[in-house]
Amino acid sequence: MKSTTQTSLFIFFLCIIFYAPLPSISISLYESLCNEYNNPSRNIQLCLNILKTDPKITSATNYHDLSQHILEKAAQDSQVVFQDFQQAKKRFPNDPAINSCIKEYTDTVIQGFVDAMSSLPVEPKKSRESAIAAGFGANNCQKGFEKPEEKKVLATIHLRNNEIYFLGVIASLSIIHLI
């Protein structure tokens, strides 16, 4: 009897030891999402750099919250880029690329991210489509600045516009986990 009790206690303590959480090297959900992006590692680093600036994104523990926070960041950042384009228009009032981007942001980008946020809880597929449309809107804007005569746009606006496009792509990649 004594041997059985000792054996049972030994097994019990082994179970507790092996059940105890061990420190592990794990990556956060947003890092995992960036690693899913199938482009060169340079873009993975870009993804990490853009997303790590928002503590709500870095602390998200599920794809719904992660998607919501990415969409919020995209909507806020797209408003800032839109304002940058409006400032650039004051300097270059007749510039067709700037005017095109203002229209693209008004019609597609900002509204796309707003629609994506509102439809995320009930229709993730529609939310993903809206995020993709918003990203393509930023990409359409970018195409206007590829013409040699349009290179006068400020480099910061160009970079921020690329980030908006990228946020649309990453948001849609995150939302796909909810479908």
Tokens 């994506």 belong to which residue? 116
- The answer as to whether 81 is a domain residue is yes
- CATH classification of the domain holding 121: 1.20.140.40
- The answer as to whether 161 is a domain residue is yes
Q: What's residue 126's pLDDT?
A: 97
Q: Residue 23 above 90 pLDDT?
A: no
- The answer as to whether 47 is a domain residue is no
Instruction: Please calculate the CA angle 76-144-33 and round it to the nearest 5 degrees.
Output: 45
Chain segment 75-127, per-residue pLDDT in tens: 999 999 999 989 988 988 888 888 889 999 999 999 999 999 999 999 999 99
Chain segment 123-139, per-residue pLDDT in tens: 999 999 999 999 999 99
Looking at the structure of the chain, the number of domains it has is: 1
Q: Residue 155 above 50 pLDDT?
A: yes
**pTM (2 d.p.):** 0.80
Contacts for 84 with CB less than 8 Å, ≥ 6 apart: 154, 156, 157, 160
**Containing domain of residue 111, as a range?**
70-177
